[in-house]
Structure 1
Amino acid sequence: MIVGLLKESGNEQRIAFLPEIAARLVQQKVRVFVEKDAGLTAFQSNQLYEEAGAEIVSREEVLTKSDLLVQIGEPSPELVEQLGSDKIWLSQYNPLWNKNLVTQFLQKGITSFSMDSIPRTSRAQAMDVLSSMATVSGYKAVLEGASQLPNFFPMFMTAAGTIRPATVLVLGAGVAGLQAIAIARKLGAQVQAFDVRSAVKEEVMSLGARFVEVEGAKEDAAAGGYAVEQTEEFKQKQQQAINDHAAKADVVICTAQIPGRKAPVLLPKEAVERMKPGSVIVDLAASSGGNCELTQDNETVVHHGVKIIGQSNYPSLMPVDASKMYGKNVFNFLELLIADDGSLNLNFEDDIVAGTCITHQGEVLNSRVKSLFGELIDI
């Protein structure tokens, strides 16, 4: 089997795997084609890939000769049109949002896997790119907030008097939120965290943060650890609690998302207007609408003296370690597809393979994608 590593498009600086992963694939008797200069944005030269046993080739050669194509971002419609039905595509393309791309894969008969659809099971943890990248995002979000805040994070006792510590409010205590809590605490801030899932209270408190609890939240064990849609009554109580805590916060880190849906608005315009001038909101849910009503994706907005940073792709700004983590996740998944002789083995009896596969032979295999789109996908 030939695995082809493609250069990312747009502003993406990561690469789907580093030379160290290319070397491990070669050890598995797999040929690795790398598009020329694919790794430069992540500071990985062509020579490093060649030393790992990969072959540096043109983009056209990667596309035509590879059996399995690997990238981080979603492919453009033009790129998909160049692929034959015998190709296998692997990236993180958010199929719950990208109906047009799913439809195009179906029309072309392409087998596609999306790394953000890895089942959230114990066995699949080593392949969970969402958790890996959320770790990077939570870390970078706090550093961004600290750098933009016109105050210190830690408490200082000086001859000029005592400087009180900054107050950080984290909305959502998933992987990104917990990492944000940990980093904010290490920087000396006082931290509060909100999440509709009461099960995360102990984790939040173990990191030294105060848990903002609102009674009456609806939880669903079948949601795979994600938050679920709440009742209107709970939303009203939740909103009041968040508004009150945000008004006292110096930095708010927004991380709350619901797969396949627009991000819940937790900070409406009036809540922002109650916040102190100079305070900062870092919204990691910007690409799906944002937790703040005023968030603009990939932009910084200032409203009533409050700086609102919409950034959903912090991992791209930390390309070396983010690529290292992503690549290890990819390799652990690819091991399920590689036979002992290095050939391709599509074993759909494996729950991880089946759960991550979105399209195959003109059909939608992933149950969540199928239930969400249903007959909306017309081929």
Structure 2
Amino acid sequence: MQVGVRREQRAGERRVAATPETVRQLAALGLDVVVESGAGMESGYPDAAYKEAGATTIAELPPETLDVLLHVRPLSPEFAATLRPGTVTIGFASPASELPTVRALAAGRITSFALELVPRISRAQSMDALSSQSLVSGYRAVLEAALRYPRFFPLYMTAAGTIPPARVLVLGAGVAGLQAIGTAKRLGARVSANDIRAASADEVASMGGTFINLDLDAPAEGTGGYARELGEDRARRQRGLLTPHVAAADVLITTAAIPGRAAPLLVTMDMVTGMRAGSVVVDLAAESGGNVEGVIAGRDVQVPVVGGCVTLVGLQDAASTMPSDASRLYAKNVSNLLALMTHDGQVRPDFEDEVVSGACLTRAGSVQHAATASALAASALAASALAASALAASDLAALKEGEQP
């Protein structure tokens, strides 16, 4: 069976869905791997390395001949339409925001697997691309903050005086948040963190951070290890309790995200303007709306405060800024999932397996993920209502025109 590795098309994306190491793993399973020329160049994996690992490189991947397609970013609807029925795709799909592609995959009878949907269970940890890429993002967030912060992170005691350590506050203690805590701590900062899940207190402490307990008196554990979205009253109370901690921070890093939904608002502009001049805010959730009011994905925003500005950093494509190691981790997640579905050189997904069924987005012409199927149905209903409204308006305009003398 032929497995294709695509050269990513989205601007700014530097990762690749397979490395020479994973090509060897897939070849050992009896799969034929074809890599689009230049696919790994920006990640530090030249075509020659893929050839040495046993892959074939080709100028342009022929989608109509592939049995399996590996990718990083969601496919475009146009590309999805070129795949032949029955093709298996594995990669990030962003189903909540890429409904036209999901519709195209279902219409083309593509068996697609979205890495965002891989169940968060022990057996699937080696396939959990959200976690592996969050690790990269959390590390990178601290580096970006340190580059913009006008002072040192660590404590220095010198003959010329003592320089106090930077105070770093991390909101959200998932994989990205814990990595940010650990990285900031290794740089010598004094780190505190908050997560609405009480169970994360021990994890924060294990990374060297001080846990801030806001005592929201609300259930916070969601499914799959994620936090539950708070109601508006609780969210408002949370922001009020966080305000003095945000004001005391030199660097604020926010990482709170809920898969398939807009990021929760944790920090208002009033809270930002309460920070000291020179402070830096890095929002890892900027691409899904942001945890911080006023943040813009892919841009730095200077917010005027007394004595200067606070820098808001809407971090975008964070994992792609470290493409070599990010690809190394991501490609291993992808190959492990594909290996689970491969038997005697043939890719035959077992949909009785909870990992396989949980990660499946589309299959046999239908959308398997319930939330995405509901979103598509709602989208179709809204489009139908809009069309009906436009037709009614057109008929009314025609009628009025006919009534004119």
Task: Output the amino acid matched with 2:105.
Answer: F
Q: Which residue of 2 aligns with 1:140?
A: 140
Tell me, in whole angstroms, the C-alpha distance in 2 between the residues paired with 1:48 and 1:298: 32
**Superposed CA RMSD:** 1.6
- SS of residue matched to 1:123: helix
Give 1:204 deviation, angstroms.
Answer: 0.8
Give 1:166 deviation, angstroms.
Answer: 0.2
Q: Which residue of 1 aligns with 2:327?
A: 323
Q: Which residue of 2 aligns with 1:335?
A: 339
Q: Is 1:12 aligned with 2:16? A: no
- SS of residue matched to 1:322: helix
Preserved contact between residue 168 and residue 250 of structure 1 (Cα < 8 Å): yes
Tell me, in whole angstroms, the C-alpha distance in 1 between the residues paired with 2:288 and 2:271: 20
Give 1:259 deviation, angstroms.
Answer: 1.4
- SS of residue matched to 2:292: coil
Matches within 5 A, 1:270-289: 270-289=270-289
Preserved contact between residue 71 and residue 91 of structure 2 (Cα < 8 Å): yes
Q: What percent of counterpart residues are identical?
A: 42
Task: Output the amino acid matched with 2:33.
Answer: V
Preserved contact between residue 283 and residue 312 of structure 1 (Cα < 8 Å): no
Q: Deviations over 1:275-323 (max 9, x none)?
A: 1111101110011000011110111111110111111321101111110
Matches within 5 A, 1:143-154: 143-154=143-154
Shift in alpha-carbon separation, 1:260–1:354, aligned structure 2, 3 A: same
Tell me, in whole angstroms, the C-alpha distance in 2 between the residues paired with 1:39 and 1:101: 24
Residue ranges of structure 2 left out of the alignment (5+ in a row): 384-405
Q: Which residue of 2 aligns with 1:207?
A: 207
Q: Deviations over 1:14-34 (max 9, x none)?
A: 111111110111111100000
- SS of residue matched to 1:124: helix
Tell me, in whole angstroms, the C-alpha distance in 2 between the residues paired with 1:352 and 1:219: 27
Give 1:377 deviation, angstroms.
Answer: 5.5
Tell me, in whole angstroms, the C-alpha distance in 1 between the residues paired with 2:78 and 2:373: 24
Q: Deviations over 1:83-114 (max 9, x none)?
A: 22232221101113322221121122211111
- SS of residue matched to 2:247: helix
- TM-score relative to the length of structure 2: 0.90
Matches within 5 A, 1:123-138: 123-138=123-138
Q: Which residue of 1 aligns with 2:316?
A: 312
Residue ranges of structure 1 left out of the alignment (5+ in a row): none
Preserved contact between residue 90 and residue 114 of structure 2 (Cα < 8 Å): yes
Preserved contact between residue 218 and residue 231 of structure 1 (Cα < 8 Å): no
Matches within 5 A, 1:107-186: 107-186=107-186
Task: Output the amino acid matched with 1:71.
Answer: H
Q: Which residue of 2 aligns with 1:33?
A: 34
Give 1:236 deviation, angstroms.
Answer: 2.6
Tell me, in whole angstroms, the C-alpha distance in 1 between the residues paired with 2:377 and 2:212: 38
Q: Please say which structure displays the higher CA radius of gyration.
A: 2
Tell me, in whole angstroms, the C-alpha distance in 1 between the residues paired with 2:293 and 2:100: 27
Tell me, in whole angstroms, the C-alpha distance in 1 between the residues paired with 2:375 and 2:131: 23
Matches within 5 A, 1:36-115: 36-61=37-62, 63-115=63-115
Shift in alpha-carbon separation, 1:376–1:122, aligned structure 2, 3 A: same
Q: Deviations over 1:131-173 (max 9, x none)?
A: 0001001111011111110010011001111101000010100
Give 1:122 deviation, angstroms.
Answer: 0.6
Q: Which residue of 2 aligns with 1:253?
A: 253
Tell me, in whole angstroms, the C-alpha distance in 2 between the residues paired with 1:180 and 1:352: 29
Give 1:77 deviation, angstroms.
Answer: 2.1
Tell me, in whole angstroms, the C-alpha distance in 1 between the residues paired with 2:94 and 2:58: 28
Tell me, in whole angstroms, the C-alpha distance in 2 between the residues paired with 1:275 and 1:221: 30
Tell me, in whole angstroms, the C-alpha distance in 2 between the residues paired with 1:297 and 1:221: 28
Tell me, in whole angstroms, the C-alpha distance in 2 between the residues paired with 1:263 and 1:122: 26
Matches within 5 A, 1:171-250: 171-219=171-219, 221=221, 223-250=223-250
Shift in alpha-carbon separation, 1:317–1:116, aligned structure 2, 3 A: same
Shift in alpha-carbon separation, 1:282–1:72, aligned structure 2, 3 A: same
